[in-house]
Structure 1
Amino acid sequence: MYPNWFQKLDPLDPKVAAVIDAGYLVPLPKRDAEGRRVVLSCMGRFDPHLYDSCVMARGHSMIVELLLDEPRSQLLGYMHVNDEAGMQMPHVSLWSLTDVRIMLNCIQNSTPMRHKCTHFVNIPHYGVRFFEFAVSLLSDKLKDRVMFHRTSEDLTKHVDPSILPKEYGGTVPLRDMVEELKKNLLKRREELLALDEMCVDLYALEKNDLTQDIHSTAGSFRKLELD
């Protein structure tokens, strides 16, 4: 389902490679004080006039697959820092409301990641309603883990600036982080492409669900007989 979002996760794909090289999305090398992997996204570094939502989604999917093999991250979870500076109306129009619903459903129910905290900063006034709608679709647990900040200075009151790129008060330039990410993605290229060879037998799942329902119903009748 939705192959344009989750398949062909090729670090050498020209469009995806350009988005990664621009620094739109990058896992930070330093973890936070609780040991969580931090993922930074910079909306202003994604050109909505050149790339569509499918390219954006594939970029995210590729980073997710890269991080899922970190046992420490699976245990301690992830923190997301989303800088919306430079966001334009074309960014908002990339996604239909239906696509937003589907994507957030995937993030909550299909992606095996522990999303411990999500920060949004520098949201322009015309993007507020969009993010309000998106957050309204989250579970109560995830809603409680979302924080909004007006400025980068406000953000650093909650996120240690030393783990962020130099542009945000840290010590390592964002460019260096991007180059390291590109190397790691290339090392994992064959594994990422091999994901397309995996498949799920939906018929078998439906059959298994039906069998479980039958056994569950039978068990209920047995319980009634005993009662």
Structure 2
Amino acid sequence: MSSAEVACPQEELYKSDVTPQAKEIALKELREDDLIREQSLEQMRDWISKHPAIKKCRTDSPFLLRFLRTKKFSVPQACSLLEKYLATRQIYSRWFRNLNYDDPVIQEIINCGYLVPLPCRDSQNRLVIMACPGRFDPYKYTTEDMARTHALVSECLMDDEMNQIYGYAYINDYSNLSMGHISMWSISDLKVMVNCLQSVSPMRHKENHFINIPSIGKHLVDFVFSLLNEKLRKRVYIHKSIDELKDSFSPSVLPREYGGEIPLADIVNNLKKKLQAAKESTLALDDMHIDLDCGYKLEGLMQEELGTGATGSFRKLELQR
């Protein structure tokens, strides 16, 4: 008898409306074809059903394909990533669970335009996510509020097959960054969060662009850069101005405030509709459960991998330099 309670029958049929071009990219970059996809989904469902610690988990195709596509259809790696994803959601529940769009704090942060997926994809069909930390009030909100906003937006996007196949590009505008933003994160929490993003999140991070970094933010960016693995370090680009950024992104991709056509307020309103529509499915993720006390020793392994040994804050770091 299966140890895990699954969210859909194993005979569920995969259905997709991705474009022929996306299918070609999936084959070329991810080694995905109909046979490999069918076999991999079946293998993952079987693994979940027999896992000694996983008690309940989604097994529908869009969810499992998050992990398979991120790991280019290496089933063992996809299973390991799913295991870490489930464990992380519970170990760091203050960041990754109860992602309720009705939370007034999250709504305020979304309304200010701090984090938005842009409506137009880039030249390589990747979804572009823009973060503007200067729009986030570090004296009113906490690191937990920031992390939960990121987690909510990410969960809303990850079942989209176009995002799974083409991946994501990021634009980080550090205009108006203050010492409040620098000092709100402890070094240990930032280390865990960065490692969650690069080692636990089932997302294909393709490019990461930074613009308008003030002098007070340089140490923060340098520290984050030091935490990235070699592959992601090579995908980081620093721009001195919006004009330089336009060498990488067509103005049509950007909000009107950055030379594009669609006002940021309209982009925010579109995101709010998506988050509202996805509210129930996002909250339902909390029904998934992995037993951290069953002797499988997941929690200790996760803490070792994510790294919780560093202490201190960036305010101290700035004062020491």
* Shorter-chain TM-score above 0.5: yes
CA deviation after TM superposition for structure 1 residue 201, in Å: 2.1
Q: 1:199 is matched with which residue?
A: 289
Q: 2:68 is matched with which residue?
A: none
Residue 180, structure 1, aligned to residue 270, structure 2: yes
Residue 81, structure 1, aligned to residue 163, structure 2: no
Distance 1:67 1:204 in 2: 32
Q: 2:221 is matched with which residue?
A: 131
Q: 2:120 is matched with which residue?
A: 30
Distance 1:149 1:182 in 2: 29
Residue identity matched to 1:134 = V
What are the equivalent positions in structure 2 for 1:93-108 lying under 5 Å apart?
A: 93-108=183-198
Distance 2:201 2:262 in 1: 29
Residue 162, structure 1, aligned to residue 246, structure 2: no
Distance 2:215 2:251 in 1: 25
Distance 1:27 1:182 in 2: 11
Residue 72, structure 1, aligned to residue 173, structure 2: no
**Any idea what the Cα deviations from partners look like across 1:92-133, whole Å, max 9, x if unmatched?**
111111011101111111100000000010011010011101
Residue 15, structure 1, aligned to residue 105, structure 2: yes
TM-aligned CA distance change 1:202 to 1:155, over 3 Å:
same
Q: 1:48 is matched with which residue?
A: 138
Residue 141, structure 1, aligned to residue 226, structure 2: no
CA deviation after TM superposition for structure 1 residue 207, in Å: 7.6
CA deviation after TM superposition for structure 1 residue 146, in Å: 0.3
Identical-pair percentage: 45
Residue 61, structure 1, aligned to residue 151, structure 2: yes
TM-aligned CA distance change 1:82 to 1:205, over 3 Å:
farther
Residue identity matched to 1:40 = M
Q: 1:223 is matched with which residue?
A: none
Distance 2:162 2:256 in 1: 25
Distance 2:107 2:196 in 1: 23
In the alignment, structure 1 segments of 5+ residues that lack a partner are 209-227
SS at match of 1:206: coil
Q: Is the 8 A contact 2:123 2:249 kept in 1?
A: no
CA deviation after TM superposition for structure 1 residue 39, in Å: 0.2
Q: How many residues get paired?
A: 208
Residue identity matched to 1:142 = L
Residue 2, structure 1, aligned to residue 92, structure 2: yes
